[in-house]
Chains A and B, each alone.
Chain A
Amino acid sequence: MTVTPGWYMALAAVLFVIGATGILVRRNALVMFMSIELMLNAVNLTFVAAGRQIGLIEGQLSVLFVMVVAAAEVTVGLAIIVAVFRRRSTASVDELAGMRG
């Protein structure tokens, strides 16, 4: 019973769905952000497993690029959350209804 790349992809699918469910269920902007990170990590695992199956190192390079984009996204996103918190004193996305029609 050996582990094939398909096992990793199935695990990545499970983790991705956990992250997507977290975004739908939670109202705290920080936890929603962490859910996005979890989804990105799941996709990274898929890249590495697929690269191993095909035999190309580009799978691992894709992971590096995704990590760079994720780092930029975390920087800006957390700055936005802090800016919103300073203005509204809340991190809950339910209370940010200022644009409701």
Chain B
Amino acid sequence: MVVGDLDLASGIWHLASRHGGARVTAETVVFVIFAVVSVAGGLVMIGARNPVYSAMGLLMTMFSMAVFYVLNDAHFVAAVQVIIYAGAVMTLFLFVIMLIGVDRDEDRTEQIPFQRPLALVLGAGFLALVLIAARAAWVTGYGLFSGGEVNGTIENVADELFGTWLIPFQATVLLLTIAAVGTIALAQFAPRARGSAEGSGVSE
């Protein structure tokens, strides 16, 4: 494991073994810390009244995701996670939050009175269902057939991406182009819908 020779982690391991605790690896320590951080970030995101705080919570979760990717030897994906998600996507979110206005707080009165408790009950039930299903072999198949180490360096990822998966990769290029064109179209046609009094230059 990448972090297996961390001094801090080995110190914690010695501490744990001296006190007769279970054998704790460095990955366990890092996992527990960032699992708590990511879940806290998610809860902040859905709980915060201000959308900027929600974005900050999501940012916390995304950075801990990058840590989990590194723990799983997915180094390139971790770098992409930080650059694309934590960098570009969250910046875009913050841009739109600033554009729409951070000062308007959300009206928290529900139109359907029982929606919020029902949503929480449904969420808890779904979590229980997923965790129970994950324990059952008929859903997950017969696990633990390890085919060897996966090392997600740029070289290994590129070998597969530009070899076996070249056509799907080019399809994503088409998808991104369509998305960019669609965004431009939305930005172009929105002012006309508000009112034709200003006579924005878009013709029918």
- The residues of A that contact B58 with a CB separation of less than 8 Å are 34, 37-38
In the bound assembly, the distance between CA atoms of A20 and B118 in angstroms comes to: 13
In the bound assembly, the distance between CA atoms of A41 and B175 in angstroms comes to: 20
A72 to chain B, nearest CB (A): 4
Contact-size category for A = 35 or more
Q: Mark B131-147, 1 if CB is under 8 A from A, else 0.
A: 10010000000011111
Q: Mark B164-189, 1 if CB is under 8 A from A, else 0.
A: 01001000100110111011001100
In the bound assembly, the distance between CA atoms of A90 and B165 in angstroms comes to: 42
> When A and B form their complex, what is the total count of cross-chain residue pairs whose Cβ atoms lie within 8 Å?
233
In the bound assembly, the distance between CA atoms of A13 and B126 in angstroms comes to: 9
In the bound assembly, the distance between CA atoms of A69 and B172 in angstroms comes to: 7
B9 to chain A, nearest CB (A): 12
Q: Taking A3-B28, A78-B96 as contacts, is the C-beta distance between A57 and B39 under 8 angstroms? A: no
Q: Taking A41-B65, A61-B161, A79-B183 as contacts, is the C-beta distance between A3 and B27 under 8 angstroms? A: yes
In the bound assembly, the distance between CA atoms of A53 and B146 in angstroms comes to: 6
Q: Would you call B111 an interface residue if the criterion is a C-beta within 8 Å of the partner chain's C-beta atoms?
A: yes
Contact-size category for B = 35 or more
Q: Residue of A at shortest CB range from B76? A: A60
- The residues of B that contact A5 with a CB separation of less than 8 Å are 72
Q: Is the CB of A60 within 8 A of B107?
A: no
A interface: dominant SS: helix
Q: Mark B155-169, 1 if CB is under 8 A from A, else 0.
A: 011001100010010
Q: Is the CB of B150 within 8 A of A64?
A: no
In the bound assembly, the distance between CA atoms of A17 and B125 in angstroms comes to: 10
- The B31-80 residues at the A interface (CB cut-off 8 A) are 31, 35, 38-39, 42-43, 45-46, 51, 54-55, 58, 61-62, 65, 68-69, 71-74, 76-77, 80
Q: Taking A8-B68, A64-B80, A83-B186 as contacts, is the C-beta distance between A17 and B31 under 8 angstroms? A: no
Could you list 14 A-B pairs, sorted by A, with CB under 8 Å? A1-B22, A17-B123, A18-B42, A21-B123, A37-B58, A38-B61, A63-B74, A69-B175, A74-B92, A78-B92, A78-B93, A82-B100, A82-B186, A87-B194
Q: Which B residues contact A (CB, under 8 angstroms)?
A: 22-25, 27-28, 31, 35, 38-39, 42-43, 45-46, 51, 54-55, 58, 61-62, 65, 68-69, 71-74, 76-77, 80-81, 84-85, 88-89, 92-93, 96-97, 99-100, 104, 106-108, 110-111, 115-116, 119-120, 122-124, 126-127, 130-131, 134, 143-150, 152, 156-157, 160-161, 165, 168, 172, 175-176, 178-180, 182-183, 186-187, 190-191, 193-194
